[in-house]
């Protein structure tokens, strides 16, 4: 066997000197097989079983390469569909799953989701330092989505400072045991931001990625 053939003496043609794994494209693999055939000793040809295994590996590599190409194309199509969907939401009222929102004053629609019925529910609006500035009474205790209108004022009756706030829902049962709940924000889409890796919706309550949008009010996404 010639020097070229010795490259494939190990169990896999993907191994280089020192038996370290390396990445090899299908074109490189094919060139290696052709070089092996061209330089093999006619009196000592390559083992047919090993050569067949190498061809099988090349076929698998080509299939994986083609699959990656199709996945890349699909990802590109999905991104375009997402952008078109985002543009179609201009002016629509959407519900997003988020515990953070922004306020510049005025009314906000803050909500929560209950997986099981509760006995009591309270909503707390926290500032960026984690201090509770407003406590909202929530009447909806059945399972499902519920919303409360907040006028942007604190518990002291003063308008809160514009900025980013957190929404925390506390739901308890009759035994005062805390139940699972999810914070929701409802707002009208006023703009769309299209970055290379993410499409986001701009609303009066902040900017949210399309991944956080759960539904359009009055419709199902």
CATH number of the domain to which 150 belongs: 2.60.40.4070
Do residue 81 and residue 110 come from a single domain? no
Do residue 185 and residue 109 come from a single domain? yes
Do residue 80 and residue 110 come from a single domain? no
Contact 95, 185 (CB under 8 A): yes
Integer Cα distance of 51 and 56 in angstroms: 9
How many CB atoms within 10 Å of residue 18? 5
Q: Domain boundary residue among 86, 113, 141?
A: 86
* Strand ranges in 18-152 using DSSP code E only, listed in sequence order: 93-97, 100-103, 108-114, 120-126, 132-138, 144-150
**Residue 162 confidence (pLDDT) above 90:** yes
Q: For 74-83, 115-124, 137-146, 150-159, which range has the lowest pLDDT when averaged over its residues?
A: 74-83
**Predicted pLDDT at 37:** 66
Integer Cα distance of 144 and 153 in angstroms: 27
Q: Domain boundary residue among 71, 86, 101?
A: 86
For β-strands 93-97 and 163-172, DSSP reports them as: unpaired
Do residue 65 and residue 32 come from a single domain? yes
Q: What is the mean pLDDT of the chain?
A: 78
Percent of the chain with pLDDT over 90: 46
Integer Cα distance of 1 and 96 in angstroms: 66
Over range 63-75, report the average pLDDT. Answer: 62
Tell me which residue of 82, 118, 106 sits closest to 198, measured CA to CA: 82
**Predicted pLDDT at 33:** 67
Domain extent at residue 24: 3-86
Contact 110, 123 (CB under 8 A): yes
Confidence grade of residue 199 (pLDDT, cut at 50, 70, 90)? confident
Q: What does pTM read for this prediction?
A: 0.62
CB-count burial class (<10 Å; 0-12, 13-18, 19+) for 86 = buried
Do residue 7 and residue 71 come from a single domain? yes
**Residue 34 confidence (pLDDT) above 80:** no
**Residue 149 confidence (pLDDT) above 80:** yes
Give φ, ψ of 97 to 5 degrees. -90, 105
For β-strands 199-203 and 206-209, DSSP reports them as: antiparallel
Do residue 104 and residue 176 come from a single domain? yes
Do residue 37 and residue 78 come from a single domain? yes
Confidence grade of residue 79 (pLDDT, cut at 50, 70, 90)? low
**Residue 186 confidence (pLDDT) above 80:** yes
Q: Domain boundary residue among 86, 121, 156?
A: 86
Do residue 200 and residue 115 come from a single domain? yes
Per the model's pLDDT, the better-predicted residue between 69 and 168 turns out to be 168
**Residue 187 confidence (pLDDT) above 90:** yes
Per the model's pLDDT, the better-predicted residue between 1 and 79 turns out to be 79
Number of domain units in the chain? 2
DSSP-derived secondary structure letter, 86: H
**Predicted pLDDT at 56:** 66
Do residue 77 and residue 98 come from a single domain? no
Do residue 67 and residue 115 come from a single domain? no
DSSP-based three-state secondary structure for 214: strand
Do residue 29 and residue 59 come from a single domain? yes
Do residue 82 and residue 156 come from a single domain? no
Residue 221 located in a structural domain: no
Q: For 32-36, 143-147, 167-171, 185-189, which range has the lowest pLDDT when averaged over its residues?
A: 32-36
């Amino acid at each position: 066997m010639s020097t070229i053939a010795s490259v494939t003496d190990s169990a896999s043609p993907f191994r280089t000197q020192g038996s370290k794994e390396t990445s090899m494209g299908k074109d490189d693999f094919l060139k290696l097989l052709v070089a092996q055939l061209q330089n093999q000793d006619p009196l000592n040809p390559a083992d047919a079983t090993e050569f067949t295994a190498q061809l099988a590996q090349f076929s698998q590599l080509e299939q994986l390469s083609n699959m990656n190409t199709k996945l890349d194309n699909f990802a590109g199509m999905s991104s375009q569909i997402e952008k078109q969907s985002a543009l179609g939401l201009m002016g629509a009222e959407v519900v997003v799953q988020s515990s953070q929102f922004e306020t510049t004053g005025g009314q906000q629609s803050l909500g929560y989701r209950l997986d099981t019925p509760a006995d009591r529910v309270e909503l707390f609006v926290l500032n960026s330092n984690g201090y509770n500035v407003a406590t909202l009474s929530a009447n909806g205790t059945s399972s499902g989505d519920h919303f409360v209108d907040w006028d942007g004022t604190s518990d002291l009756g003063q308008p809160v400072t514009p900025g980013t706030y957190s929404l925390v829902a506390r739901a308890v049962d009759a035994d005062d045991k805390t139940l699972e709940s999810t914070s929701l924000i409802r707002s009208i889409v006023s703009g769309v931001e299209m970055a290379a890796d993410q499409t986001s919706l701009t609303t009066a309550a902040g900017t949210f990625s399309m991944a956080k949008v759960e539904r359009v009010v009055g419709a199902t996404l």
